């Protein structure tokens, strides 16, 4: 791993404190003898020693307070946005000073942990003083959302490309940094047992669920302009879907994998109105505690139609997946926090056990849980011991925690990839735009958001859409839940 300077715009913000600083400290510890200096750039005026104390507190849980303080004092720096003003000349001078004082070769990462409306101004400022290139390599990291719709995404990509080359740009989706998400490629393509059956001849349907038990949690002003389709479907769930549906790449290079993901997006049929259900949570109870409804938040208009839940059916025009529906489901104030992919296999063509046992038979289901209990379960039918022919579905179980212990945080993995120049887990410009193009008609003419109570799995109409697949893993079924 090359020595480098990691510049965080929004360095005093919540993302930097909770995720980026601990991830950088963890990356350095695991990488061994590597020089990584961090320059936080923020609006909050503070002395550099104050920012070092903040950084030390952020990473103390990882390395202990004394080591955290020593690390921050030796490697962490701070600049206010005033220093980055007037054409960014002050920031450019500060960067050169830090690099010369610490014998850094001029490798730089610029991480935009700032509101999306500020992206273009910072990118333009970096270019105005030549910080889009340097003595070493230069990389730009852009947090989601990449645009608010198709037009704004295209405009943002166009403006960033005026300053940075696509090979320098890392559009980050932290879901792709999860070990369990990365394992989807290995799971599919390294195990012939699954890859040989990963097609329309063997699979009946695929359901991808990202459920949150929390509400908008003080973000209502932002969320009401966003909603579940923009916040979760267009990025996180779509990324998971492309990894499940993609064809084998010609190799495991970044562009080969991203080429196949884009092909999946381009193969999806136009989404019909009856393939989409929007929901909005009302008052209810989660974990036995009463919680208010979305419209009760003072920052939400009383007539808001913003969806807090979406259930959607996608159809792919491809040789592998023709006729196999993909269901995407997400929502806030669901009964639990859960991210899973459930792959339901087709039933045998002939029932051998008689009509009286028909109700006992269940299709085989592969359930991949990405959080909170990372691992997978393969459900299959077995005979219950005894003289009677009783059949029950039993899971074969694998847990990452049991097998490997602690797995790295998603941001730690992604930041290491940025420094090493690996774009495999990052989203390319055409991929972003293809996803927005797919969902733009729904955004232009959204359906009415139907009510559901907090603590429920979305509106009844969403369950009805899933029921059309004749699946047995409905919201309250044993396969859906992490602890049957």
Statement: residue 102 has pLDDT above 60 = yes
Residue whose token pair is 């989807």: 184
Statement: residue 324 has pLDDT above 80 = yes
Find out whether 345 and 364 touch, Cβ atoms under 8 Å.
Answer: yes
Q: Which of 281, 279, 290 is nearest to 453 (CA)?
A: 281
The first and second tokens of residue 96, run together, are: 């050169």
Exactly one of 77, 236, 468, 480 is catalytic; name it.
236
- For residue 480, what pLDDT is reported? 41
pTM (two decimals): 0.87
Statement: residue 82 has pLDDT above 80 = no
Determine phi and psi for 378, rounding to 5 degrees: -115, 110
Domain extents in the chain: 4-143, 176-411+427-467
For residue 236, indicate whether it is catalytic.
yes
* Residue 138 or 185, more confident: 138
| Average pLDDT value for residue range 232-257 | 92
Choice among 140-144, 218-222, 272-276, 475-479 with the minimum mean pLDDT: 475-479
Determine phi and psi for 328, rounding to 5 degrees: -110, 130
* Residue 395 or 14, more confident: 14
Positions of E strands within 221-363: 276-282, 284-286, 289-291, 309-314, 326-331, 338-345
Give me the residues paired with residue 203 across strands: 345
The first and second tokens of residue 278, run together, are: 């929007």
452: confidence class by pLDDT, cuts 50, 70, 90: very high
Find out whether 209 and 338 touch, Cβ atoms under 8 Å.
Answer: yes
Statement: residue 110 has pLDDT above 90 = yes
For the CA atoms of 257, 263, 266, 271, the dihedral, rounded to the nearest 10 degrees, stands at -80
Q: What CA–CA distance (Å, rounded) separates 259 from 437?
A: 17
The answer to whether domain 4-143 and domain 176-411+427-467 are alike in fold is no
- For residue 278, what pLDDT is reported? 96
Tell me the per-residue pLDDT of 355-372, one tens digit each, with 9 for 90 and over.
Answer: 555 565 677 888 888 888
User: Which of 17-26, 140-149, 151-160 holds the top average pLDDT?
Assistant: 151-160
In this structure, the strands spanning 365-371 and 338-345 are: antiparallel
Q: Which of 132, 62, 167 is nearest to 412 (CA)?
A: 62
- For residue 428, what pLDDT is reported? 93
Quick one: residue 323, left, alpha or beta (phi over 0 = left, psi -120 to 50 = alpha)? left
Report how far Cα 484 is from the mean position of its chain's Cα atoms: 26
Tell me the per-residue pLDDT of 408-438, one tens digit each, with 9 for 90 and over.
Answer: 777 888 998 999 999 988 999 999 999 999 9
Determine phi and psi for 202, rounding to 5 degrees: -115, -25
CATH of domain 4-143: 3.40.50.720
Statement: residue 60 has pLDDT above 50 = yes
Tally of residues, the chain: 484
CATH class, 176-411+427-467 region? alpha beta
Statement: residue 388 has pLDDT above 80 = no
Q: What CA–CA distance (Å, rounded) separates 347 from 381?
A: 11
Burial label, 445 (beta-carbon count in 10 A; 0-12, 13-18, 19+): exposed
Q: Which of 333, 338, 307 is nearest to 230 (CA)?
A: 307
Gyration radius (Cα) of the chain, Å: 24
Choice among 16-25, 283-292, 380-389 with the minimum mean pLDDT: 380-389
Give me the residues paired with residue 330 across strands: 210, 310
194: confidence class by pLDDT, cuts 50, 70, 90: confident
For the CA atoms of 387, 388, 390, 394, the dihedral, rounded to the nearest 10 degrees, stands at -10
Q: Kind and range of the H or E element at 260?
A: helix 254-267
What order of strands is seen across the sheet that includes strand 449-453? 391-399, 375-383, 365-371, 338-345, 203-211, 326-331, 309-314, 276-282, 449-453
In this structure, the strands spanning 289-291 and 108-112 are: unpaired
351: confidence class by pLDDT, cuts 50, 70, 90: low
Burial label, 35 (beta-carbon count in 10 A; 0-12, 13-18, 19+): middle
* Residue 178 or 283, more confident: 283
The mean predicted confidence, pLDDT, of the chain is 86
């Amino acid at each position: 791993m090359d020595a480098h300077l990691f510049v965080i715009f929004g360095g005093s913000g919540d993302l930097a404190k909770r995720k980026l600083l601990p991830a950088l400290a963890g990356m350095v510890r695991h990488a061994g003898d590597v020089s990584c200096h961090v320059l936080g750039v923020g609006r909050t005026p503070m002395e550099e020693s104050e920012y070092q104390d903040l950084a030390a507190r952020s990473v103390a849980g990882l390395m202990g307070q004394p080591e955290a303080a020593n690390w921050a004092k030796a490697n962490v720096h701070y600049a206010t946005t005033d220093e980055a003003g007037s054409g960014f000349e002050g920031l450019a001078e500060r960067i050169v000073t830090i690099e010369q004082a610490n014998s850094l070769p001029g490798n730089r990462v610029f991480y935009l942990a700032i509101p999306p409306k500020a992206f273009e101004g910072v990118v333009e400022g970096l270019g105005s003083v030549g910080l889009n290139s340097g003595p070493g390599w230069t990389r730009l990291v852009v947090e989601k959302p990449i645009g608010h719709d198709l037009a704004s995404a295209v405009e943002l990509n166009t403006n960033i490309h005026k300053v940075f080359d696509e090979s320098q740009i890392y559009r980050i989706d932290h879901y792709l940094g999860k070990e369990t998400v990365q394992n989807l490629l290995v799971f599919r393509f390294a195990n012939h047992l699954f890859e040989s059956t990963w097609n329309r001849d063997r699979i009946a349907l695929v359901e991808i669920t990202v459920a949150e038990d929390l509400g908008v949690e003080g973000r209502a002003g932002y969320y009401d302009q966003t909603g579940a389709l923009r916040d979760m479907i267009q990025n996180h769930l779509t990324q998971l879907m492309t990894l499940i549906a993609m064809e084998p790449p010609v190799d495991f290079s970044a562009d080969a994998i991203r080429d196949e993901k884009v092909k999946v997006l381009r193969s999806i049929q136009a989404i019909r109105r009856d393939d989409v259900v929007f929901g909005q949570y009302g008052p209810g109870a989660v974990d036995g505690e009463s919680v208010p409804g979305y419209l009760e938040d003072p920052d939400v208009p009383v007539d808001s139609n913003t969806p807090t839940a979406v259930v959607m059916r996608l159809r792919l025009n491809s040789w592998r997946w023709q006729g196999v529906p993909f269901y995407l489901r997400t929502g806030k104030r669901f009964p639990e926090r859960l991210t899973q992919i459930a792959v339901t296999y087709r039933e045998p063509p002939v029932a051998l056990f008689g009509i009286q046992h028909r109700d006992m038979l269940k299709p085989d289901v592969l359930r991949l849980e990405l959080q909170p209990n990372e691992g997978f379960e393969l459900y299959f039918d077995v005979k219950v011991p005894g003289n009677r022919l009783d059949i029950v579905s039993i899971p074969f179980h694998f847990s990452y925690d049991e097998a490997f212990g602690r797995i790295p945080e998603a941001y730690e993995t992604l930041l290491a990839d940025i420094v090493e120049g690996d774009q495999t887990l990052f989203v390319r410009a055409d991929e972003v735009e293809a996803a927005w193009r797919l969902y733009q008609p729904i955004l232009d003419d959204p359906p009415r958001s139907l009510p559901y109570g907090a603590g429920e799995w979305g509106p009844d109409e969403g369950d009805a859409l899933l029921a059309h697949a004749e699946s047995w893993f409905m919201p309250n079924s044993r396969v859906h839940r992490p602890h049957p």
